[in-house]
Amino acid sequence: MMDVCLFGVGLIGRVHAGNLARHPKVRLRYIVDPNREAAQKVAAVTGAEIADTETVMNDPAVKMVFIASATRTHAELAMAAAAKGKAIFCEKPIDLDLKRTDECLAAVAKAGVPFQIGFNRRFDPSFRALKERLDGGEIGAVEQVIITSRDPEPETEEALAGGGGVFREMTIHDFDMARNMLGEEPVELFATGSSLVAPQYGKLGDYDTAMFILRTASGRQCHINNSVRAAYGYDQRIEVHGADGMLQAGNRLPTSVEMYGGTGISRDKPYYFFVERYAESYAAEIDHFITCVETGGKPAVTASDGRKAMILCEAAIASARSGRFEPVKL
């Protein structure tokens, strides 16, 4: 059983803490978070010890670190862990600055340690099955990919102030899925954004509603639509159209029960948010990383994938401001 450390016990950190505590091949030895009260709550449930960064980095028994802390700390923690020879699982984005991201990637490459970026949607059972059938040639050559990703409600202004904006924090997942499903790298991107839902986004110079078009060199297309409001729940769907047909992966519902009556037919709304909707994918990505570290395998989603998604984010920001297609070089 390998000792691991978790940095950050916010919402996603708590999800990872539970999965790590339940995993049979690791022991969640340490938790690091400046919020002592939050750390104590998670430690009480998982049995982990609350520690500081120096203690963790200098403990040779810690073989892996899981970074789910504030975005601004990701690169620094990853480089420190790499220098100590520890395997790294890092939530997206690696950093909000591409230069800093490249510095981190160089340090990881020099150390030769495993690195997996937290693009959990690649591990969603439905999305993964769609991708496998796509790669199996079931619908022929890809022509169009349509991705719908809508949050159930806006973030608070306080929460937004500490982040990197909707494109870097939300759409970055969709850009990774677009690359994964297209099977070719995008070469140009168009983005348009509006503030239609909540004034706090516009106040911060951001968008709460957006659409994107990506095109590859061969002409394959992807359309992504984002919103921070969906009255019916967390809306997560993918459709891929090919020469011989179409593959779809729809929303997940709490139950499959439907009611048929004289006034209509009803069923459950989609799961409310990402913790419930992607519960299986979070467990699967953690298991995949631990297996890679144990066996010496290469993670399916690497630091390079994180960098390429961030390049698409920066191109989208530029396009939304200019109103033009932006070239992309991945």
Query: Please, are residues 35 and 9 in contact by the beta-carbon 8 Å criterion?
Result: yes
User: 245-249 and 264-267: which strand pairing?
Assistant: unpaired
- Give me the mean pLDDT over the 151-178 stretch: 94
Paired tokens of 34: 């400046």
**DSSP-derived secondary structure letter, 157:** H
Parallel, antiparallel or unpaired: strands 258-261 and 221-227 = unpaired
User: Among candidates 237, 110, 232, 92, which has minimal Cα distance to 167?
Assistant: 92
Q: What is the pLDDT of residues 194-231, one digit of tens each?
A: 999 999 999 999 999 999 999 999 999 999 999 999 99
What was the pLDDT predicted at 273? 96
Name 32's bridge partners: 7
163 band by pLDDT with thresholds 50, 70 and 90:
confident
Q: What does the pLDDT average to over 230-238?
A: 97
Nearest to 221 by CA among 173, 246, 189: 189
**Mean per-residue pLDDT of the chain:** 97
Q: Would you call 163 helix, strand, or coil by DSSP?
A: coil
CATH architecture for residues 122-281+308-327:
2-Layer Sandwich (3.30)
Bridge partners, 4 (sequence order): 28, 64
- Is the pLDDT at 162 greater than 80, yes or no? no
Q: Is the pLDDT reported for residue 254 higher than 80?
A: yes
Q: How confident is the model at residue 298 (pLDDT cuts 50, 70, 90)?
A: very high
Tell me if the domain spanning 2-113 has CATH number 1.10.1040.10: no
- Whether 42 contacts 9, CB under 8 Å: yes
Q: What is the tens place of the pLDDT at every residue in 108-158?
A: 999 999 999 999 999 999 999 999 999 999 999 999 999 999 999 999 998
What whole-number distance in Å separates Cα of residue 154 and Cα of residue 148? 16
Report d(CA 179, CA 238) in Å as an integer.
13
Q: Decide: helix, strand or coil at residue 96.
A: coil
Query: What gap in Å lies between CA 319 and CA 316, rounded to an integer?
Result: 5
Structure confidence at residue 161 (pLDDT)? 85
pLDDT band at 259 (very low <50, low <70, confident <90, very high): very high
- Spell out the domain ranges in the chain: 2-113, 122-281+308-327
Return the structure tokens found at 111: 């150390």
Q: Do 2-113 and 122-281+308-327 share a fold?
A: no
**What is the average pLDDT across 260-270?**
97
